């Protein structure tokens, strides 16, 4: 408001946000920040060195695996990394039942002659014997693609001969087992309705209703989830929804799409969501490689851009708050994102992306975030895919940092020169507060010139333990990780700008050489505002503050 007022006094037209406006309502609480959509598919690293950067920094919540000799040896380390639910794909274990023994785990050549139901029984018996309470059983994988799925003459063979008897056997051995299904390739409402109706009649409804979303447009994920809930309501059902594969082939490294998926999933209040990486196999078609679903390079396991989107997401704490996308939810192009507010850390964050040009962020009802005070320190970090997102980077860049005033219980932040293939994290803290502990910070470099990757410190060794299991399908607010979490470690990189620069506009006004007056009248006005505002803040600060 102060900026716009001074611009009008100077007779300079205010710059508008051509890319639209994101409205963040700090009073609109959506439940605890649980990071429940930090989920992944295969892509662990059994028999290989773990990533040098701590996996716990990303707060993974769910993982979907299935091949014998890999998932059962990986389960303890997954739980040790904080994973709350491991979805075991029974059909994958069945297809791979006669493989070679790996690390002494599970592979038994005699299983080649065993039936699908026998394998399901073996899996659940082992899980029960080990007390692995975070395991869920995903019976089939994409039966609408890999199997005949014609329901016109009754239940197809995959349901009749595999799903139905397996669920009965699993629940016989382990009453209360979490069943996931049917994990269709896509949301095919007609057949999914027939599946649910038949499963209800047979007493084998899944605990979690699942399907994949390998679509080109992540902006319709929420609408798809809403359609699924409406379809279930018509059957008198209300099951949690897991969209346990997202990202179409060729897009797994697109950071802007990662933001859109996370934003859509938060508003849809899904039970879980898993990031797939079918265009980045590295070792064949299984996906069981150490690329961490496009987050790390193969080989070398250096951090890729998408790693930092999940680090951004993991830094969000406290509670999620309402954000209205620039297209008002119409599904068209435009910026979208998600927001959080945390009184404990005195930090509010917005993660957004999906468009280019400029955007206006309007924070309303700041009285619900009174910890920010009457002036706010704003920092904007950014990371770009830089193509397909497969090249390594050492960390995000800094787009903007400065102090802005709160007026009429609101704050407006205008950002320019935003890239279509980038994700942005806006962090708000009180002006006089210490800098927030946030994602790795290489300084002011833009991601596009941050091509090199330096080796970060290795995490301290630890022994994974099972701990107290918490179901992944808790209601919003009953998070298994509903506490403030430490942020990822600092990354090496070039130093940031001067520590005493209270207001820095790194955008259209960043091109003037240091010490030179900006040639753009708007930039000159902003520079004057920066000087006035900085002097005002310094006079108000306490000695030593």
Question: What does the DSSP assignment read for 387-410?
Answer: TTS-S--S--EEEEEEEEE-BTTB
Q: What pLDDT is stored for residue 16 in this prediction?
A: 42
Q: What pLDDT is stored for residue 439 in this prediction?
A: 58
On the 0-12 / 13-18 / 19+ scale of CB atoms within 10 A, 120 is buried
Nearest to 418 by CA among 361, 359, 360, 363: 359
Q: Which of 105-119, 204-218, 384-398 has the highest mean pLDDT?
A: 204-218
Average pLDDT over residues 162-185: 98
Which helix (H) or strand (E) is 533 found in, with range?
A: helix 521-540
Looking at per-residue pLDDT, the higher value among 109 and 326 belongs to: 326
Q: What pLDDT is stored for residue 280 in this prediction?
A: 64
Q: In this predicted structure, which of 67-71, 148-152, 181-185 has the lowest mean pLDDT? A: 67-71
CATH architecture of the domain covering 35-314: Alpha-Beta Barrel (3.20)
Q: What is the pLDDT of residues 201-248, one digit of tens each?
A: 999 999 999 999 987 789 999 999 999 999 999 999 999 999 999 988
In the predicted model, what is the mean pLDDT of the chain? 75
End-to-end CA distance of the chain: 26
What are the sequence ranges of the domains in the chain?
A: 2-29+317-434+501-540, 35-314
Q: Is 375 helix (H, G, I), strand (E, B) or coil?
A: strand
Measuring CA to CA, how many Å separate 217 from each of 110, 214, 220, 333? 45, 9, 6, 10
- pLDDT range class, residue 331, cuts 50, 70, 90: low
Average pLDDT over residues 100-128: 72
Q: What pLDDT is stored for residue 250 in this prediction?
A: 78
Cis preceding-peptide flag for 540 (omega within 30 of 0): no
**Is residue 273 pLDDT above 50, yes or no?**
yes
As given in the structure block, the two tokens for residue 233 are 């309501």
State the Cα angle at 122 between 121 and 125, rounded to 5°: 80
Average pLDDT over residues 28-50: 79
| Alpha carbons 339 and 348: distance in angstroms, whole number | 7
Contact yes or no for 384/419 (Cβ under 8 A): yes
Q: Is 384 helix (H, G, I), strand (E, B) or coil?
A: strand
In this structure, are strands 85-89 and 208-213 parallel, antiparallel, or unpaired? unpaired
| Alpha carbons 415 and 22: distance in angstroms, whole number | 11
In this structure, are strands 21-32 and 39-41 parallel, antiparallel, or unpaired? unpaired
**Is residue 94 pLDDT above 80, yes or no?**
yes
**Is residue 465 pLDDT above 70, yes or no?**
no
Q: In this predicted structure, which of 266-270, 369-373, 374-378, 516-520 has the lowest mean pLDDT? A: 516-520
| Alpha carbons 313 and 33: distance in angstroms, whole number | 9
Q: What pLDDT is stored for residue 216 in this prediction?
A: 74
For the chain, percent of residues with pLDDT exceeding 70: 67
**Is residue 108 pLDDT above 70, yes or no?**
no
Average pLDDT over residues 73-98: 85
Q: What pLDDT is stored for residue 450 in this prediction?
A: 22
For the chain, percent of residues with pLDDT exceeding 90: 52
In this structure, are strands 503-504 and 135-138 parallel, antiparallel, or unpaired? unpaired
Q: Is 210 helix (H, G, I), strand (E, B) or coil?
A: strand
| Alpha carbons 488 and 81: distance in angstroms, whole number | 14
CATH architecture of the domain covering 2-29+317-434+501-540: Sandwich (2.60)
CA 515 from centroid of its chain's CA atoms: 41
pTM: 0.77
Q: In sequence order, what E strands does 431-539 have?
A: 503-504
Radius of gyration of the chain (CA): 25
**Is residue 13 pLDDT above 80, yes or no?**
no
Nearest to 316 by CA among 48, 57, 117, 35: 35
Q: What pLDDT is stored for residue 55 in this prediction?
A: 61
Helix, strand, coil percentages in the chain from 3-state DSSP, rounded to 5: 30, 20, 50
Q: What pLDDT is stored for residue 290 in this prediction?
A: 62
- pLDDT range class, residue 328, cuts 50, 70, 90: low
**Is residue 351 pLDDT above 80, yes or no?**
yes
Q: HSE, CB side, 13 Å, CA atoms: give it for residue 273.
A: 28
Contact yes or no for 274/38 (Cβ under 8 A): no
Looking at per-residue pLDDT, the higher value among 62 and 508 belongs to: 62
Q: What pLDDT is stored for residue 288 in this prediction?
A: 54
- pLDDT range class, residue 413, cuts 50, 70, 90: very high
Spatial strand order of the sheet with 411-418 comes to 411-418, 357-364, 21-32, 319-324, 336-342, 347-353, 422-430, 375-384, 397-405, 503-504
């Amino acid at each position: 408001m102060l900026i716009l007022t001074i611009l009008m006094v100077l007779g300079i037209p205010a710059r508008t946000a051509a890319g639209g406006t994101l409205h963040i309502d700090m009073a609109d609480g959506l439940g605890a920040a649980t990071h429940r959509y930090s989920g992944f598919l295969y892509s662990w690293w059994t028999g290989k060195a773990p990533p040098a950067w701590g996996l716990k920094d990303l707060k993974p919540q769910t993982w979907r695996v299935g091949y014998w000799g890999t998932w059962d040896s990986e389960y303890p380390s997954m739980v040790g990394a904080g994973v709350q639910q491991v979805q075991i794909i029974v059909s994958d274990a069945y297809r791979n039942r006669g493989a070679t023994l790996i690390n002494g785990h599970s592979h038994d050549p005699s299983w080649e002659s065993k039936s699908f139901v026998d394998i399901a029984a073996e899996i659940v018996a082992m899980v029960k014997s080990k007390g692995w309470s975070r395991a869920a059983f995903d019976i089939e994988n994409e039966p609408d693609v890999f199997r005949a799925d014609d329901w016109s003459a009754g239940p197809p063979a995959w349901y009749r001969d595999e799903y139905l008897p397996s669920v009965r056997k699993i629940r016989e051995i382990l009453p209360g087992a979490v069943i996931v299904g049917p994990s269709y390739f896509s949301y095919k409402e007609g057949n999914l309705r027939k599946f649910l109706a038949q499963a209800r009649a047979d007493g084998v409804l899944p605990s979690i209703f699942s399907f994949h979303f390998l679509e080109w447009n992540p902006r319709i994920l929420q609408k798809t989830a809403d359609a699924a809930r409406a379809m279930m309501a018509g059957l008198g059902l209300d099951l949690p929804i897991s969209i346990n594969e997202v990202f179409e082939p060729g897009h797994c490294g697109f950071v802007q799409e990662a933001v859109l998926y996370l934003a859509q999933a938060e508003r849809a209040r899904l039970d879980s969501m898993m990031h797939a990486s079918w265009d980045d196999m590295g070792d064949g078609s299984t996906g069981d490689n150490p690329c961490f679903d496009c987050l790390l390079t193969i080989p070398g396991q250096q951090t890729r851009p998408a790693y930092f989107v999940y680090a951004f997401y993991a830094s969000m704490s406290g509670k999620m708050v309402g954000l209205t996308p620039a297209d008002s939810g119409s599904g068209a192009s435009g910026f979208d994102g998600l927001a959080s507010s945390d009184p404990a850390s005195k930090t509010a964050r917005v993660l957004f992306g999906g468009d280019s040009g400029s955007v206006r962020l309007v924070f309303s009802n700041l009285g619900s975030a009174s910890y920010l005070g009457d002036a706010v320190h704003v920092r904007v970090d950014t990371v770009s895919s830089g193509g397909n997102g497969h090249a390594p980077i050492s960390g995000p860049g800094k787009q903007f940092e400065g102090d802005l005033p709160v007026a009429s219980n609101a704050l407006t932040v205008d950002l320019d020169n935003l890239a279509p293939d980038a994700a942005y994290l806006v962090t708000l803290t009180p002006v006089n507060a210490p800098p927030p502990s946030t994602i790795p910070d290489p300084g002011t470099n833009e991601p596009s010139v941050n091509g090199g990757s330096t080796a970060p410190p290795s995490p301290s060794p630890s022994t994974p333990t099972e701990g107290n299991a918490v179901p992944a399908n808790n209601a919003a607010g009953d998070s298994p990780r509903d506490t403030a979490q430490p942020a990822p470690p600092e990354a090496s990189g070039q130093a940031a700008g001067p520590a005493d620069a209270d207001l820095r506009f790194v955008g259209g006004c960043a091109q003037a050489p240091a010490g030179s007056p900006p040639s753009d009248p708007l930039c000159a006005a902003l520079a004057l505002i920066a000087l006035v505002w900085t002097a005002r803040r310094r006079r108000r600060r306490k000695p030593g503050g």
